[in-house]
Chains A and B, each alone.
Chain A
């Protein structure tokens, strides 16, 4: 689904200006710090920003064209929206909320049925509940189901996990991840949380001060400094795809293979051979000139220094590493955040072989 978007939205003290064509397949993430314009963008796409000017087309249907004065109202755009605060109707039960959408759904033979959506989001036990008694995670599941039942052709999700605690986030992520394939619907997913984006998205756009500053595949974009500007200095890192190579039930570990080398991490309950997406933060990677013995760190990967970024005014330096055995240009990198002093002591040079010591790997998902 092709979304062409050339818009300008002015708010007091802030202007969103955007000229992008987005091929929406799977989940496309829109990242940005608060106030960067992420929500404004989604609201403009849904038709909720009455001040939006410019042109928006979805698969060649014109949603907005200020030049000709055309502007489809939100209820005729066929675009679903999951709000950060869920916005369930408090005067209706869970079933009443879901039925509200279903009764107004766009006609379409391929659209999912009521039961199918309820099953996919495990809502059967909640149907008769009042919305006031639901937990945050339950509210968002109802909100997602409600949005799907209106049969939109594109689903916008505005930080649906932001209001939830960590446990609920982890519970809800698998539901969101399966949506595009299960319901054949592309999703634009707004978030400022790197871990969510890393787990969910195929492509990423990064917004800053109302314009796009980076975009591309999640593995590439999350390595860029613009991503770090969103996530904060200690969240930067890399995302890469690996394959489950072996299970070690004795220690409840799983070994994965990446670029011919092995990493072990806490058990992932999937069969051997399954692709998984991993995330390694720069601050969790240390560098040694030779394999280290007598350490608790098990994950030591042979790598080569590809780039050195130092900030002369700061304490830290960042080292970009290419894994030995990786195919040039496409295979995973690692980033290591070390102090400038360490950099000077180790006397690192471009191309130098080193060992990357990985203190923590977070498993994200089967992509």
Chain B
């Protein structure tokens, strides 16, 4: 029995961390907009945001592969900019994961912002707080649990990604071979001992993260206005 290759584990953690960090940056304004907009376009944007929930990963992966191809405008621009292709690269995986996990970050945030409502923001405004100030000092702390849920769900969902990675990333050690792909390969090659280690570790880790989240939720109850 060969030593356990931890490469896929670190790669997966890196991918999930980078993806969630970027998604929180992009998802916050989107969720904020969805929570407060009165435009008629809202259902359309909400549907688009939720699409990755219902699409088979292979369908999403297929379209992303087409978009990322060096002869497509996006893939071509990326190649010019960075000198590497989006397909079969870590950057490509990050973009794909962001789209794949988008609803898991945006929906909890949107729900949290909607629960906070306009009331506390109006109260902050009449006390002299600018909109960004009110967002940072009132809306965000009140939506803290939404952020926590968004981060954990986004992270966990990215960890478990398989189909999309396989479609746009393939199975390149150190670049695109994430845990789920590694497990698949170990099972294919009948290397059950390695598969057990990876799968068991994954199970334990996921469980620990969820216990941590529910524990934190208990300790920091939601503030209601």
Contacts and interface: CB of A to CB of B under 8 A. Distances in A.
Nearest to B126: A81
Contacts of B196: none
B44 interface: no
The B interface is mostly helix, strand or loop, or mixed, namely: helix
Interface in B77-128: 119-120, 122-128
Given A48-B122, A74-B122, A100-B137, A87 B129 contact: no
B38 to A, nearest CB: 10
B138 interface: yes
A161 interface: no
A326 interface: no
Nearest to B222: A90
Contacts, number: 66
B142 interface: yes
Interface string A72-109: 01110101110101011111000000001100111000
Nearest to A48: B122
B130 interface: yes
Contact of B126 (A75, A85, A89, A105): A75
Interface residues of B, number: 21
B219 interface: no
A85 B225 CA distance: 9
A360 to B, nearest CB: 39
Given A48-B122, A87-B119, A101 B127 contact: yes
A272 B130 CA distance: 51
Contact of B142 (A74, A77, A81, A91): A91
Contacts of A89: 120, 123-124, 138, 142
Contacts of A91: 138, 141-142, 223
B126 A74 contact: yes
B142 A147 contact: no
A46 B126 contact: yes
Given A85-B119, A87-B120, A89-B120, A147 B223 contact: no
B39 interface: no
B134 to A, nearest CB: 8
A130 to B, nearest CB: 10
B126 A147 contact: yes
Contacts of B125: 47-48, 73-75
A106 B127 CA distance: 9
Interface in B44-78: none
Contacts of B142: 89-91
A104 B127 contact: yes
B2 interface: no
A87 B127 CA distance: 12
A83 B123 contact: yes
B37 interface: no
Contacts of A87: 119-120, 122-123, 225
A53 interface: no
B135 to A, nearest CB: 12
How many A residues are at the interface, by size bracket? 20 to 34
Contacts of B189: none
Interface in A135-181: 146-147, 150
Interface-central residue, B122, B127, B223, by most chain A CB under 10 Å: B127
A81 B125 CA distance: 10
Interface-central residue, A74, A79, A80, by most chain B CB under 10 Å: A74
Interface in B123-157: 123-131, 133-134, 137-138, 141-142
A75 B138 contact: no
B197 to A, nearest CB: 43
A73 B131 CA distance: 10
Nearest to A43: B122
Contact of B129 (A79, A88, A104): A104
A147 B127 contact: yes
A73 B129 CA distance: 10
B179 to A, nearest CB: 38
A280 B101 CA distance: 68
Contacts of A81: 122-123, 126
Contacts of A105: 128
B68 to A, nearest CB: 42
Nearest to A73: B125
Contacts of B223: 90-91
Contact of A106 (B119, B128, B131, B138): B128
Nearest to B138: A89
A186 B223 CA distance: 34
Given A48-B126, A74-B125, A147-B127, 13 more contacts: A75-B127, A87-B120, A87-B123, A88-B123, A89-B124, A89-B138, A100-B124, A100-B127, A100-B137, A104-B127, A104-B128, A146-B127, A150-B128
9 contacts: A77-B126, A80-B127, A81-B122, A85-B119, A87-B225, A89-B120, A91-B138, A101-B127, A104-B133
Q: A-B pairs with the 7 shortest C-beta distances?
A: A104-B128, A90-B223, A87-B123, A74-B125, A81-B126, A101-B127, A150-B127
